[in-house]
Amino acid sequence: MIIILKQNASKADIAKLEENLRADGLKTNLIEGVEKSIIGLIGDTAKIDLDNLYAQDVVDSVQRIQETYKNPNRKMHPEDTVIKAGNVTIGGGSLQIIAGPCSVESEEQILTTAAAVKEAGATMLRGGAFKPRTSPYAFQGLRSEGLKLLIKAREQTGLPIVTEIMSADDLPLFEDIDVIQVGARNMQNFELLKELGKTQKPILLKRGLANTIEELLMSAEYIMSGGNKNVILCERGIRTFETMTRNTLDISAVPLLKQKSHLPICVDPSHAAGVISLIEPLSLSSIIAGADALEIEVHCNPQKALSDGGQQLKPEAFNEIMKKIKSLCGYLGRNLG
Amino acid sequence: MIIILKQNASKADIAKLEENLRADGLKTNLIEGVEKSIIGLIGDTAKIDLDNLYAQDVVDSVQRIQETYKNPNRKMHPEDTVIKAGNVTIGGGSLQIIAGPCSVESEEQILTTAAAVKEAGATMLRGGAFKPRTSPYAFQGLRSEGLKLLIKAREQTGLPIVTEIMSADDLPLFEDIDVIQVGARNMQNFELLKELGKTQKPILLKRGLANTIEELLMSAEYIMSGGNKNVILCERGIRTFETMTRNTLDISAVPLLKQKSHLPICVDPSHAAGVISLIEPLSLSSIIAGADALEIEVHCNPQKALSDGGQQLKPEAFNEIMKKIKSLCGYLGRNLG
Amino acid sequence: MIIILKQNASKADIAKLEENLRADGLKTNLIEGVEKSIIGLIGDTAKIDLDNLYAQDVVDSVQRIQETYKNPNRKMHPEDTVIKAGNVTIGGGSLQIIAGPCSVESEEQILTTAAAVKEAGATMLRGGAFKPRTSPYAFQGLRSEGLKLLIKAREQTGLPIVTEIMSADDLPLFEDIDVIQVGARNMQNFELLKELGKTQKPILLKRGLANTIEELLMSAEYIMSGGNKNVILCERGIRTFETMTRNTLDISAVPLLKQKSHLPICVDPSHAAGVISLIEPLSLSSIIAGADALEIEVHCNPQKALSDGGQQLKPEAFNEIMKKIKSLCGYLGRNLG
Amino acid sequence: MIIILKQNASKADIAKLEENLRADGLKTNLIEGVEKSIIGLIGDTAKIDLDNLYAQDVVDSVQRIQETYKNPNRKMHPEDTVIKAGNVTIGGGSLQIIAGPCSVESEEQILTTAAAVKEAGATMLRGGAFKPRTSPYAFQGLRSEGLKLLIKAREQTGLPIVTEIMSADDLPLFEDIDVIQVGARNMQNFELLKELGKTQKPILLKRGLANTIEELLMSAEYIMSGGNKNVILCERGIRTFETMTRNTLDISAVPLLKQKSHLPICVDPSHAAGVISLIEPLSLSSIIAGADALEIEVHCNPQKALSDGGQQLKPEAFNEIMKKIKSLCGYLGRNLG
């Protein structure tokens, strides 16, 4: 860690700061510059609170050299993490396609859609039971009833299920769910992350709309430091000034996360774009950039959907995209499922 | 509401869409354009789900003409809402200065700081007991113990207290708190908002780092539609590409929210800038732009603070800013407190 | 075009506005809503200035239904545009790889690099002679001397050359250049665009750091409306809050631009990421998303480069990426060059 | 300057880098950390090209400690710069209100508007003769004819004039103009900045829509390093995801620029918001935050304006705002004009 000192910092004050840092077991190296001086700190600096350093009168700014995330860091764990979810594994070279409706709406809807996505080649089933909606007047999901319908769909298709949690209070209801999703708006709901860290469930953690890649890794750290190492990171678009798409898919996040972390990476092209005609190109781009999984919204009858109608694919359109994905997997030598 | 139809939409398909809309009790007006046609919809369009319309094959795009937020809308409630919190009122012309430390750290720290901010002229006390921190290794707050210390500080100073909630499970602990704060990262934690809507507590709702003004109003709607009309909106900076400040204070949000909504508006210059030297100019700017309250971080000894050390003011610096604020209130004919 | 009227607009004022619009040769359709009314406008609305409509007291807002860009619009020109540059063609299915150094620095540097990128499979040569640098103290390019060296490199390799112009005054110097590049910072230098519109040179137009896709198309319109139809659009990353990459590559822009426009699309992964290890995945992603060309920075000795050292590939690393690109072209059935 | 070395950097490679740096006349200080090592550099590091350092294999990242801008830096020039423009001075405590139409449209329009803004208390006149418009089909300004009309308006009112330049070729036409404006889209048109640096004209330099404060200062450096010290910095809103306003006024930029630089600061609330009802609160906020000048769009008949109709004030509305501004100046003890 490097501490940059204020131009007018007195020698006495600098000495006092060094003394305090050494009392914390760190080694200090003062470099006196022409204008400003710096202190190089050696030792276990991860435990130092930057805010605290900033509060010292002589400190101008502070820069960490080591990353603050430990558990998700590839340096700590050079091998790819492979997570088991039902009968599939995420990470480690295979590709999982998680498909299904935005919301579970009825038994018929979810069973029909599940059968269709399985038929097309999806390897996991998604469906929202608890729905985070911007408006309190919009459909809020079938909640516990929706979870039961998902389980029924799994029984019929064999597809492991992925569904979103919105409150730690609901955790008991998720006991039989294969992968628990944390939505973008809850990426920094730290109380929820802590509770998920106490389970051993695979967690699909979505990046928040305005969160940096480092913050996503710190949220993974919240879950992992609690004891749950089964975290899948998900890029789903960030907010920018562009208005032709709902969000801007940060494709660079995929290879960057693969470099920085050993955790599997998922991409959600449906929410990233919000435009049906972009789902195919964004899916193929994400796979070739290294994604371990994709999450795609498919609805047996989007025109009757209770949410996100405009970005859910019809089964036939999904089938066409799956053909391209299978072909690309063949080219890349990756297994689907 | 206006529905813009696809260029290749057939007359039969358009007629069918119109029929469905009319079946929902709406009046339709088709205008056939040179290239595209549109349907103007009249009636209670607030209940229509945009996503559903987007899913219709003939629909190109949809535009709402009426705002979707009702309860916070000034059209529904032309008078300013005035909220009572302890012995003060927020909104309606007065100015409240909410000051105190980022975190409650000890009895001595909160009592000393509370006395100092009261002495300088603050009218309410802030202090975090439950702390949302990016890192699981950072100080997480004294939690229920912190709430007790805040109440003790109120007993000694008479200042009503504002403190953040992070989970609806903790609500019983907040029974004796004057104003419950919802942090930026929880602005769209809809399960929490719903629970807060069932209370009658004043809620200080902070704008998320990447949330639009309309989304802030929709989150207020979540609370208000549950029955709790006591919502204070808080601008605290948004995320942009600028790196010299922690966030970018969206000063335009203050007058815009005053125009669109009847709810009181608070500004948090400490988090918006993250730079101590900007707190004075941003405070004065916010007041003259129409803010009903400011929330400012003050710590009796920021160099020993367990969080946010670098952006907390010392009591003497806060006192200097309060002198300017009092003078400005005098000029504007506004009462402090 | 749809005009949404203010809630309090009087019938007389609305009638007057309709009359004025009809005097301009447009047909008006008034729809009276419960709260607000709207006017649907039919006719050649492209000539209407939105600003002017906004200035009318009764107007609340205006929404265009037709796109404002004409020349780059795929509706006007359903076939892909194919642009000839030297001995290659851009657009229409082939893939061009434009490679070379950030700046032309010396005869030896550009000739060595040109030979190396040709050897690796690049089909065009890039190199900056006029350099837009944030600091006036940074290397500003060899200017006209640089152009001469590029031409020499073309003589030796046969690769058509792409180089940036910064002022219309320099146009005569570019007579023997194959493709003239307009940098991101000049995307809305309208005086320059107008002058380029008077030539028949292929123009590689880079998207500005904070410009929307629609604005990029409008800048292409500036060039094309002047008579020069040879425009290549280039996505090179936009500015967001993320700090791990220099910019955020907007991969969605590639398929969106292909849908909206008939012009060829280039992607610059070097500037988009500013991180060498991301160039390969971003290149492959861009190709599979539909890019017609890539522009990649390669330097024979990046450690001695006078600009952008950190994001220029060494020839060996470029060669490895070219192997992947060639393989992908084989898979996609696309010709390189 | 601090150089952070890669984790796997060999001692020999580090030694070689140190040697090269010392050969450039710098003193190096190596600190060997647990994970990574750093080199602290002492001496005239401003001449070092960061890009070049990044290109060295052993370098992980580099951080400057000293600012790169010199001429605009307050450290180099602690006193406020005061710029003379016609009969007024900008900077140094006074407040200038620059008002007038978006575009000069006709003799009657500019003379009427100029008389009206002078009557209301404006101290300088603005008006666009060369207009940067997103669409080539929009009104492009009266160009040299517009400049003549502005001069006529100055003769009648005595108000110094501010107007935008779009190409260095037009410089001779601006000889009799008091302040030359560089628009946001040209903030990094470095060729133009260099030419302006050769004159002694006051330059009003607008911040680009996606440019940082540091980049604005570097663009000022371009002009100042050429010999022209008369630069006025202008904040006019940046691009964010918020859609209720045209741009987001970065109010923090005003006090930050006052701290970092000695140059006068102007704010343009008309372009920042694009909403007439926000001009008053944003004007007052900017003044109290420390702005030396405001630039406000006023048109004698906005409903007939050829550009920006929706954000230009009528003279009566401007007059009301001027009353508030005069009153605030009285309170702050600042002179208007």
Residue D116: pLDDT band (50, 70, 90) is: very high
Min distance C142 CA to chain A CA atoms (Å): 33
pLDDT score at A252: 98
pLDDT score at C26: 87
pLDDT score at B244: 93
Min distance C281 CA to chain A CA atoms (Å): 5
Residue written as token pair 């929902």: B24
Report chain A's mean pLDDT, rounded to a whole number.
93
pLDDT score at D305: 77
Q: In 3D, which of D11, D148, D46, D82 has the Cα closest to residue D293?
A: D82
Rounded to the nearest angstrom, the gap between the alpha carbon of residue B336 and the centroid of all alpha carbons in its chain is 21
Record the tokens describing residue D273, joined without a space. Answer: 């918001």
- Cα torsion for A188, A192, A198, A199, to the nearest 10°? -100
pLDDT beyond 80 at B307: no
Q: What is the rounded average pLDDT of the residues C210-223?
A: 97
Q: What is the rounded average pLDDT of the residues B134-158?
A: 94
Residue B332: pLDDT band (50, 70, 90) is: very high
What is the Cα–Cα distance from A265 to A257, expressed in whole angstroms?
7
pLDDT beyond 80 at A48: no
Q: CB atoms < 10 A from the CB of D336, how many? A: 16
Reported as a single tens digit per residue, the pLDDT across B33-48 is 777 888 988 887 777 7
Residue A293: pLDDT band (50, 70, 90) is: very high
Q: Which CATH number fits domain A83-332: 2.40.37.10, 3.40.50.300, 3.20.20.70, 3.30.1360.120?
A: 3.20.20.70
Higher pLDDT, B56 or B327: B327
pLDDT score at B311: 83
pLDDT score at C9: 87
Task: Report yes or no: A238 and A209 within 8 Å, Cβ to Cβ.
Answer: yes
Question: ∠ CA(C301), CA(C117), CA(C314), 5° rounding?
Answer: 30
pLDDT beyond 80 at C173: yes
pLDDT score at C234: 98
- Cα torsion for D239, D242, D244, D250, to the nearest 10°? -50
Q: CB atoms < 10 A from the CB of B24, how many? A: 12
pLDDT beyond 80 at D47: no
Of C32, C36, C240, the CB nearest to B241: C240
According to DSSP, the residues that pair with B165 across neighbouring strands are B182
Q: What is the rounded average pLDDT of the residues C229-246?
A: 96
pLDDT beyond 80 at A74: yes
Which residues from B are below 8 Å from C34, CB to CB? 42-44
Q: What is the rounded average pLDDT of the residues D174-178?
A: 98
What is the Cα–Cα distance from D214 to D66, expressed in whole angstroms?
12
Which residues from C are below 8 Å from B242, CB to CB? none
pLDDT beyond 90 at D137: no
Q: In 3D, which of C165, C50, C156, C49 has the Cα closest to residue C107?
A: C156
Task: Report yes or no: D37 and D14 within 8 Å, Cβ to Cβ.
Answer: yes
Which residue spans within C9-106 are E strands per DSSP? 27-31, 38-42, 59-63, 83-85, 88-90, 96-100
What is the Cα–Cα distance from B146 to B130, expressed in whole angstroms?
8
Which residue is closest to D325 within chain B, CA to CA?
B288
Q: What is the rounded average pLDDT of the residues A308-327?
A: 93
Q: CB atoms < 10 A from the CB of B178, how many? A: 22
pLDDT beyond 80 at D44: no
Residue B188: pLDDT band (50, 70, 90) is: very high
pLDDT beyond 90 at A36: no
pLDDT beyond 90 at C160: yes
Q: What percent of chain B has pLDDT over 70?
A: 100
Min distance B236 CA to chain A CA atoms (Å): 15
Residue D170: pLDDT band (50, 70, 90) is: very high
Min distance C217 CA to chain A CA atoms (Å): 13
Task: Report yes or no: A169 and B169 within 8 Å, Cβ to Cβ.
Answer: yes
**Cβ-defined contact of D49 to C134 (cutoff 8 Å):** no
The pTM (predicted TM-score) of the whole model is 0.93
Cα A200 to Cα A82, A85, A178, A196, A216: the distances in Å are: 14, 11, 11, 8, 19
A270 in helix, strand or coil?
Answer: helix
A265 in helix, strand or coil?
Answer: strand
**Cβ-defined contact of D40 to A43 (cutoff 8 Å):** no
Reported as a single tens digit per residue, the pLDDT across B239-254 is 999 999 999 999 999 9
Of B51, B208, B305, the CB nearest to A307: B51
pLDDT beyond 90 at C269: yes
Reported as a single tens digit per residue, the pLDDT across B81-111 is 999 999 999 999 999 999 999 999 999 999 9
pLDDT score at B166: 95
Q: Which chains touch D (3 or more CB pairs under 8 A)?
A: A, B, C
pLDDT beyond 80 at C309: no
DSSP B4-38: EEPTT--HHHHHHHHHHHHHTT-EEEEEE-SS-EE
A207 in helix, strand or coil?
Answer: coil
pLDDT score at B42: 85
The structural architecture, per CATH, of the domain C2-63 is 2-Layer Sandwich (3.30)
Cβ-Cβ contacts under 8 Å between B and C: the total is: 48
A135 backbone dihedrals φ, ψ, rounded to 5°: -105, 135
Which residue spans within A24-87 are E strands per DSSP? 27-31, 38-42, 59-63, 83-85
Higher pLDDT, A284 or D30: A284
Report chain B's mean pLDDT, rounded to a whole number.
93
pLDDT beyond 90 at B24: no
Q: Which chains touch C (3 or more CB pairs under 8 A)?
A: A, B, D
For A83-92, B265-274, C39-48, D249-258, which range has the lowest pLDDT when averaged over its residues?
C39-48
pLDDT score at C199: 97
Identify the residue among A242, A254, A282 best suited for mutation to test binding to C, counting C beta carbons within 10 A and taking the highest. A242
pLDDT score at D34: 75
Which residue spans within chain B are E strands per DSSP? 2-5, 27-32, 37-42, 59-63, 83-85, 88-90, 96-100, 124-126, 161-165, 179-182, 203-206, 231-235, 265-267, 293-297
Of D241, D285, D290, the CB nearest to B251: D285
Question: ∠ CA(B4), CA(B10), CA(B12), 5° rounding?
Answer: 110
The residue ranges of every structural domain in chain B are: 2-63, 83-332
DSSP D245-273: SSSB-BTTHHHHHHHHB-S-EEE-HHHHH
Which residues from D are below 8 Å from C55, CB to CB? 302-305, 309-310, 312
Q: In 3D, which of C200, C151, C146 has the Cα closest to residue C176?
A: C151
pLDDT beyond 90 at A53: no
Which residues from C are below 8 Å from B5, CB to CB? none
**How are beta strands D38-42 and A2-5 bridged, if at all?**
unpaired
Q: What is the rounded average pLDDT of the residues C80-91?
A: 97
Higher pLDDT, A98 or D19: A98
**Cβ-defined contact of C29 to B29 (cutoff 8 Å):** yes
Higher pLDDT, C305 or D218: D218
What is the Cα–Cα distance from A252 to B261, expressed in whole angstroms?
40
D124 backbone dihedrals φ, ψ, rounded to 5°: -145, 160
Which residues from D are below 8 Å from A33, CB to CB? 40, 42, 65
Amino acid at D33: G
Q: What is the rounded average pLDDT of the residues C9-32?
A: 88
C28 in helix, strand or coil?
Answer: strand
Contact residues, chain A to chain D, C-beta under 8 Å: 2, 4, 29, 31-36, 38, 40, 42-43, 63, 65-66, 239-241, 243
ipTM exceeds 0.90: yes
A23 in helix, strand or coil?
Answer: helix
pLDDT beyond 80 at C134: yes
- Cα torsion for C284, C285, C289, C294, to the nearest 10°? -50
Min distance A190 CA to chain B CA atoms (Å): 6
Higher pLDDT, D145 or C307: D145
pLDDT score at C257: 98
**How are beta strands C96-100 and C88-90 bridged, if at all?**
unpaired
Q: In 3D, which of A114, A104, A108, A159 has the Cα closest to residue A315?
A: A114
Residue D24: pLDDT band (50, 70, 90) is: confident
Report chain D's mean pLDDT, rounded to a whole number.
93
pLDDT score at C31: 86
Higher pLDDT, A96 or D3: A96
pLDDT beyond 80 at C226: yes
What is the Cα–Cα distance from C245 to C310, expressed in whole angstroms?
12
Q: CB atoms < 10 A from the CB of B43, how many? A: 17
What is the Cα–Cα distance from C104 to C131, expressed in whole angstroms?
10
Contacts for B312 with CB less than 8 Å, ≥ 6 apart: A55, B101, B102, B270, B276, B297, B298, B299, B302, B305
According to DSSP, the residues that pair with C232 across neighbouring strands are C204
Which of the given ranges, A81-85, C311-315, D130-134, has the highest pLDDT on average? Answer: A81-85
